[in-house]
């Protein structure tokens, strides 16, 4: 099997690692606009060779793992050049834009719209890790628009990598993911910003911050180059979630201001229920 990974960072590199350990006969080619990343990926053994986009026709599988703004453009280009039997899948955090843009493409049946719910706050080829996808959910959108035999090839890969498959409409995907992923990143970045602005003396943060703070601001370490395009692509949903979050925070602040601490208690008690959901996540997702 010949696999060409376009964008050999955390996501693409982690696919490469697991493909190599699961498919003995695999040959992995790497393509990246960042020459340093490509060299690093070769050095780390993530890929066997560097390749140009123009070579995708020879590939059995092309994985497009680049920030979502360039992903649409790159995936289009790849599809234009793809062989009849080439499976092309992306891994982006937004799905409506790419599905819409590629809807009328003559090789739409070569494309599978994919979002593996996995990652870390790190980026680049050095961030690639084995088993990143094991026991993680992998959302597939508009599966019926992909050629059956290419669906099968994709599913075999996802299965060997240990992913749980869920099928979803791209619109619903983008709406839900705004709540459970995009909003978390913004809340974390702004929490980090608020604390950094206040605490000019970093020594004080260091001494007073415990594991709770570290946990809530962990995502503020994430890559702006990855996240800016996500917020642009999913603007409408992200704005909606942010409005609701800000309203909830404002209401909570007002309760504190007016000394309505019974209601403060109730608000928290109702939300405690999230325990049950998190326990569900914890049972399948390594934190």
Is 252 a binder of a second copy (CB under 8 A)? yes
Least Cβ distance, residue 41 to a second copy (angstroms): 22
Number of residues engaging a second copy in binding (CB under 8 A): 99
Least Cβ distance, residue 245 to a second copy (angstroms): 5
Q: How far, in Å, CA of 84 to CA of 54, rounded?
A: 15
Closest residue by Cα to residue 140 from 84, 74, 89: 89
Least Cβ distance, residue 77 to a second copy (angstroms): 23
Q: CB nearer to a second copy: give 54 or 271.
A: 271
Closest residue by Cα to residue 230 from 238, 240, 241: 238
Q: How far, in Å, CA of 260 to CA of 252, rounded?
A: 10
Least Cβ distance, residue 188 to a second copy (angstroms): 6
Among positions 14, 94, 118, 146, the unique one binding a second copy when judged by CB under 8 A:
118
Least Cβ distance, residue 260 to a second copy (angstroms): 10
Is 95 a binder of a second copy (CB under 8 A)? no
In a 3-state reduction of DSSP, which class is residue 200? Answer: coil
Is 253 a binder of a second copy (CB under 8 A)? yes
Alpha helices of 92-201 — where are they, by DSSP H?
A: 96-102, 148-160, 170-177, 183-198
Least Cβ distance, residue 276 to a second copy (angstroms): 8
List the interface residues with a second copy, window 29-58 (CB under 8 A): none
Q: How far, in Å, CA of 48 to CA of 184, rounded?
A: 36
Q: CB nearer to a second copy: give 12 or 229.
A: 229
Please check whether residue 19 is in contact with residue 153, taking contact to mean a CB–CB distance below 8 angstroms: no
- Token pair listed for 164: 């749980």
Q: CB nearer to a second copy: give 78 or 217.
A: 217
Among 49-57, 77-85, 142-150, 254-262, the segment contacting a second copy (CB under 8 A): 254-262
String of DSSP letters for 33-96: S-HHHHHHHHHTTS-SEE--GGGGGG-SEEEE-S-HHHHHHHHHHHHHH--TT-EEEE--S--H
Residue with tokens 């049972």: 283
DSSP bridge pairs for 138 = 116, 165
List the interface residues with a second copy, window 160-219 (CB under 8 A): 164, 166, 173, 176-177, 179-181, 183-199, 202, 204-219
In a 3-state reduction of DSSP, which class is residue 9? Answer: coil
Q: CB nearer to a second copy: give 20 or 233.
A: 233
Residues 6 or more apart whose Cβ sits within 8 Å of residue 72:
97, 98, 101, 102
Q: CB nearer to a second copy: give 54 or 194.
A: 194
Q: CB nearer to a second copy: give 2 or 173.
A: 173
List the interface residues with a second copy, window 128-157 (CB under 8 A): 136-137, 139
Least Cβ distance, residue 147 to a second copy (angstroms): 26
Least Cβ distance, residue 91 to a second copy (angstroms): 13
Q: How does strand 137-141 pair with strand 111-116?
A: antiparallel
């Amino acid at each position: 099997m010949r696999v060409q990974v376009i964008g050999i960072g955390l996501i693409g590199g982690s696919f490469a690692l697991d493909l190599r350990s699961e498919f003995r006969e695999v040959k992995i080619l790497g393509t990246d606009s960042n020459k340093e990343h490509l060299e690093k990926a070769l050095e780390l053994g993530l890929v066997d060779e560097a390749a140009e986009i123009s070579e995708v026709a020879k590939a059995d599988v092309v994985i497009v793992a680049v920030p979502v703004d360039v992903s649409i453009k790159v995936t289009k280009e790849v599809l234009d050049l793809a062989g009849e039997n080439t499976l092309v899948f992306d891994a982006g955090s937004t799905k409506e834009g790419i599905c819409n843009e590629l809807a009328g493409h003559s090789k739409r049946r070569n494309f599978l719209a994919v979002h593996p719910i996995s990652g870390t706050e790190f980026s680049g080829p050095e961030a690639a890790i084995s088993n990143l996808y094991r026991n993680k959910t992998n959302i597939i959108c508009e599966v019926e628009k992909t050629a059956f035999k290419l669906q099968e090839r994709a599913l075999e890969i996802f299965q060997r990598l240990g992913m749980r498959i869920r099928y979803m409409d791209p619109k619903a995907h983008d709406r839900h993911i705004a709540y459970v992923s995009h909003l978390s990143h913004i809340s974390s970045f702004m929490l980090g910003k608020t604390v950094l602005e206040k605490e000019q003396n970093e020594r004080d943060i260091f001494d007073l911050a415990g594991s709770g703070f570290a946990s809530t601001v962990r995502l503020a370490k994430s890559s702006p180059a990855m996240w800016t395009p996500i917020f642009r692509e999913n603007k409408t949903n992200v704005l909606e979630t942010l409005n609701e979050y800000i309203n909830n925070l404002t209401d909570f602040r007002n309760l504190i201001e007016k000394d309505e601490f019974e209601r403060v208690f109730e608000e928290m008690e109702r939300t405690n229920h999230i325990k049950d959901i998190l326990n569900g996540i914890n049972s399948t997702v390594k934190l």
